């Protein structure tokens, strides 16, 4: 009998530190699936190519405003095994580089970077959250179809 990993599709969100964007995407994806009544339909994980020590507190704060709690998450190092288990990898931003792994679909999201326009702090993080939320919504629809 196949285990849950072979039956349930997965998505792995990746950024460099696994402290901000990829954690935000994973939390938002879990919320998206739960709202659709499909919380168990897709396994959602996140990792970083060079993980930080903790989740970015401002990322956690702006997600809490939309009822997503990532405060207890811990950055994790990306492995090829994690990529194989997920089967679908979303790389957030241009900085993180992932290996090519046979049988693993990889897509890259060139997310909005408000700091390039001089937007910083809380306003920046809210814009990043909203950009990722819109992309997660579209991905959720694709994964559930």
- The answer to whether residue 106 is domain-embedded is yes
pTM above 0.85, yes or no: yes
- The answer to whether residue 81 is domain-embedded is yes
- The answer to whether residue 51 is domain-embedded is yes
- What's the confidence (pLDDT) of residue 7? 65
Q: What total of structural domains would you count in the chain?
A: 1
Residues 6+ apart with CB under 8 A from 74: 54, 55
Q: If the chain, 145 residues long, is cut into consecutive pieces of 10 residues, what is the mean pLDDT of each piece?
A: 60 97 98 93 96 96 97 97 97 95 96 91 95 96 82
Domain encompassing residue 31: 7-144
Cα–Cα distance list, 68 to 52, 71, 112 (Å): 20, 9, 20
- 8 Å CB contact between 131 and 54: no
- The answer to whether residue 1 is domain-embedded is no
Consecutive H or E run containing 15 = strand 10-15
- The answer to whether residue 2 is domain-embedded is no
CATH number at residue 35: 3.40.50.2300
Q: Quote the CA–CA distance of 27 and 111 in Å, as a whole number.
A: 16
């Amino acid at each position: 009998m196949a285990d849950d990993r072979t039956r349930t599709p997965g998505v792995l969100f990746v950024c460099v530190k696994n402290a901000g964007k990829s954690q935000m995407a994973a939390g938002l994806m879990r919320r998206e699936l739960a709202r659709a009544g499909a919380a168990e339909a897709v396994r959602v994980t996140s990792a970083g190519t060079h993980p930080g020590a903790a989740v970015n507190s401002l990322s956690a704060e702006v997600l809490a405003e939309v009822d997503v709690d990532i405060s207890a998450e811990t950055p994790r190092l990306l492995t090829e095994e994690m990529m194989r288990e997920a089967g679908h990898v979303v790389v957030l931003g241009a900085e993180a580089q992932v290996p090519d792994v046979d049988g693993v679909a990889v897509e890259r999201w060139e997310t909005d970077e408000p700091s390039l326009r001089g937007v910083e702090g809380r306003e920046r993080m809210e814009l990043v959250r909203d950009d990722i939320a819109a992309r997660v919504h579209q991905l959720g629809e694709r994964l559930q179809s």
